[in-house]
Structure 1
């Protein structure tokens, strides 16, 4: 039996050295994680583990950011499944990343290697191996988590029984690389960046990180939603139409973006933001596999695909492309929402239906497909 962290509590697991796709090594790494539910294995040797993959600035506490979906009797039923969510390698919430101490006692800083989505999966596979977990019932994730989920299905079909890929594409588009690179440049152009070695200086490239978040947040939300909420209204007590422009005289939408930026700066590391955004730029399921369509067709793990009709960052046509080319499409679902990309996090009722359908489809009980797989210790 794996020695897992107590239910709902943050745990860490040493995973050894992680080799990267580009030839570097992350020495003596660890991954942080949360888990809910008890670990079991069925007659076929398949564990009841569900691996949840978080998005770019998410963390391992999936029960918080997917509130309403994870728990006893919920769509992700912890009475049935052992739910595990790791903090991604390169992150800043307990896993080894740029802000972590290097084995030599100093910060990793800019010595932390560039990583790909495949490297993130490699680290997570080492995490499971270190715990003695050889199979998982399913992997689920959206956005960057969806990219990891797709790579799990491609890289380790012997481990993954099914996958739910949400709000992501088969590869980064030129538009995505462009908008994400603009965010990276905003951080790297901050005079406190110090080429990624700002940790020793006591400085923080907060201005650059805040600018990156403002850009990113506009891609996470729907254009109609933002316009309906804010339009051209001024922020209360401010006048953006004065004789001279002032940073203190804002439109309401500017104040909203400032608020989102301030929240992120308080909880997230600029070095991790750069590393993880760069990993998204490198996302390409077809690299080294004969191209996108050939790589997708080779994936035989049953995959549910879902997207958001108003997604600006990962438009719905990209999920349609996945659905047309995957080698074993389980189902296709559309989240209808004015919210945009973030709808896979905010539209709990729709996600509840999608996930319950997913689990019914991967159940082996053909006479009653809504019955979950029954596991035992």
Structure 2
């Protein structure tokens, strides 16, 4: 399949209808989230994937805005035929609460004063950020996300999703992240914050009508950017090469290419990011800790999602041991968790740069979908002994074409279709036993999607009841859901 871009996209905005309570006990009014979507939401809203961005990211994850010089920040992974395939899935990416790219944050207007919040903006948590995303998904009518994916701070959001809303996530992909910020990570964030607040132009966050603290913000970004690289990547990219000169200047100007690079990264960052947002978002990361009573196993015990955890060998900001801790905690509670480590010299930035590795790992993970990942669990069934008329009324009222029939013990006894009802009317049958199919083709909840699809094709049926080993009904899966995920089956 040819891998293409999603094309021209537009950022949209969702305004919350009600006040938004925070973990701190404070409440935000008039909250707005900026977001973008790619692909189409299917009829039963089961194909949605939420992409969570990293510390300084935004909603523009893929495609092109008019006038862009480059596409969205994860365009290599989002689009037709890519790991996050827009021909199968509906992709959502929102700018986080507290951000500065269209979502409510410190630079937004405080409805109480008519001026930018500044430091009047309340401190937020990763839990607050995820709760805001949950409201956005509910706005689309999505009850359960097919997957949540993110790297770095985006990975923290993924983990928060699976603990805050365990029944709302089928698959989780956490990349180059942690389940609890370490002292080293908190230390880096604090030094970056000190760089900002030490800038005289910061003015305790009240700088929106005057000069902004560009020096402090640039320095914070330079500090952060060093942690995103690795020693090997810096050696390979810069070595000890001088910047536009052949010998040292013997003064305090910069001599080396790496110095020039960091200055450029810092200055360009100040043109697109708000200093106060940087303070608030790093603080949210500092507070992030999913362990309970010091136990990560206890903190993750209610997770229901199937996990893929990816680490980067040279990442020293979020080192691989932290990813392995996540997998160990999940596995110790018999959760389904897979660990993969990318061999890369790019350091932490590999989650943005190693598109080949990531496309392969993520595609394989999402394609190994089993029946339980997409089956409908809120099913309508009837007891044995109902009349044809009663059965027809249930079908019409619920708008369904396949109706499982169960015994008093909840065991699958048969299935009735709308075609059977039509036949009963034509033949003037009164008894359900005359039309009910008792030799029912079923699926196991751990059966592969491909296997279920082949059963439907071979038997020319459009839905399968999903049963356990005792033939108690767990759900139902239809050909429409399957065909949206895999092609080639009728």
Q: Does residue 260 of structure 1 match 2:265? A: yes
Give the Cα–Cα distance (whole angstroms) in 2 for the partners of residues 230 and 311 of structure 1.
18
Q: 1:82 aligns with which of 80, 84, 90?
A: 90
Q: 1:343 aligns with which of 345, 350, 354?
A: 350
- Secondary structure of 1:165's aligned partner: strand
Distance verdict in 2 for CA 1:252–1:40, change over 3 Å: same
For residues 73-222 of structure 1, the aligned pairs below 5 Å read 73-104=81-112, 105-200=114-209, 202-222=210-230
Per the normalisation by structure 2, the TM-score is: 0.71
Give the Cα–Cα distance (whole angstroms) in 1 for the partners of residues 248 and 199 of structure 2.
26
4+ residue runs over 4 A deviation: 238-241
Contact 1:37 1:83 in 2 (8 A): yes
Q: Does residue 54 of structure 1 match 2:60? A: no
Q: Does residue 224 of structure 1 match 2:232? A: yes
Q: 1:366 aligns with which of 448, 457, 462?
A: 448
Contact 1:56 1:276 in 2 (8 A): yes
Flag structure 1 segments of 5+ consecutive residues without an equivalent: 1-5
Distance verdict in 2 for CA 1:373–1:258, change over 3 Å: farther
Distance verdict in 2 for CA 1:323–1:303, change over 3 Å: same
Contact 2:170 2:304 in 1 (8 A): no
For residues 18-33 of structure 1, the aligned pairs below 5 Å read 18-33=20-35
Give the Cα–Cα distance (whole angstroms) in 1 for the partners of residues 242 and 133 of structure 2.
46
In structure 2, the residue matched to 1:317 is: 321
Give the Cα–Cα distance (whole angstroms) in 1 for the partners of residues 206 and 449 of structure 2.
59
Alpha-carbon deviation of 1:373? 4.6
Contact 1:51 1:138 in 2 (8 A): yes
- Secondary structure of 1:179's aligned partner: helix
Which structure would you say has the larger RCO, counting Cα contacts within 8 Å and 6 or more residues apart? 1
Distance verdict in 2 for CA 1:127–1:257, change over 3 Å: same
Deviation digits for residues 303-330 of structure 1 (CA, Å, limit 9, x no counterpart): 1100100001000011011111114233
Q: Does residue 299 of structure 1 match 2:303? A: yes
What is the RMSD of the two structures over their aligned residues, measured on CA atoms? 2.0
In structure 1, the residue matched to 2:427 is: none
Contact 2:167 2:304 in 1 (8 A): no
Give the Cα–Cα distance (whole angstroms) in 1 for the partners of residues 81 and 315 of structure 2.
30
In structure 1, the residue matched to 2:287 is: 282
Alpha-carbon deviation of 1:302? 1.1
Per the normalisation by structure 1, the TM-score is: 0.91
Alpha-carbon deviation of 1:238? 7.4
Alpha-carbon deviation of 1:133? 2.3
Flag structure 2 segments of 5+ consecutive residues without an equivalent: 1-6, 63-71, 372-446, 454-480, 486-490
Greater shift, 144-153 or 219-228, is seen at 219-228
